[in-house]
Structure 1
Amino acid sequence: MRLWKLLGLAGLAGVTATGVVIARRERQRQAYTPEEVRARLHERVAALEEPPPPR
């Protein structure tokens, strides 16, 4: 019975930690200005248009 309690608490801690990480990323994402978002999108598109390096 004690093992199940520990597993439950560990699961709850994992869910809580995941929520904290998601909330932090969302705050960082919302902190971008429209110009910064546009610049980042242009960088991503430019990176996709570049040919991959030869192997």
Structure 2
Amino acid sequence: MRWWKVVGLAGLVGVAATGAVIAREERRRRAYTPDEIRERLHARLAKTAPGREGSAPGNRSTRQ
């Protein structure tokens, strides 16, 4: 076998493996319901900004 055939075959296997990983991650991401996503986002927000419930980081108003 010539070296370029081996390189081409390795590239093809790499592309297939990458596609499989992306497909698995996409299935895992789409498995959440909108309510589950909302709950997880609220939990993350509460963890990062415990004293600022209901406001997102970076959305500070200049008026007081």
User: Offset of 1:48 from its aligned partner?
Assistant: 4.2
RMSD: 1.9
Higher relative contact order (Cα pairs below 8 Å, separated by 6+ residues): 2
- Could you say which residue in structure 2 is the equivalent of 1:20? 20
- Could you say which residue in structure 2 is the equivalent of 1:6? 6
Identical aligned pairs, as a percentage? 64
- Of 35-44 and 18-27, deviating more is 35-44
Unmatched 5+ stretches in structure 2: 51-64
| SS of corresponding position for 1:21 | helix
Separation (CA, whole Å) in 1 of partners of 2:6 and 2:15? 14
Of Structure 1 and Structure 2, the greater helix share is in 1
Larger radius of gyration: 2
Separation (CA, whole Å) in 1 of partners of 2:12 and 2:47? 39
Aligned length in residues: 50
Q: Normalized against structure 1, the TM-score is what?
A: 0.72
Separation (CA, whole Å) in 1 of partners of 2:47 and 2:25? 23
Q: Normalized against structure 2, the TM-score is what?
A: 0.63
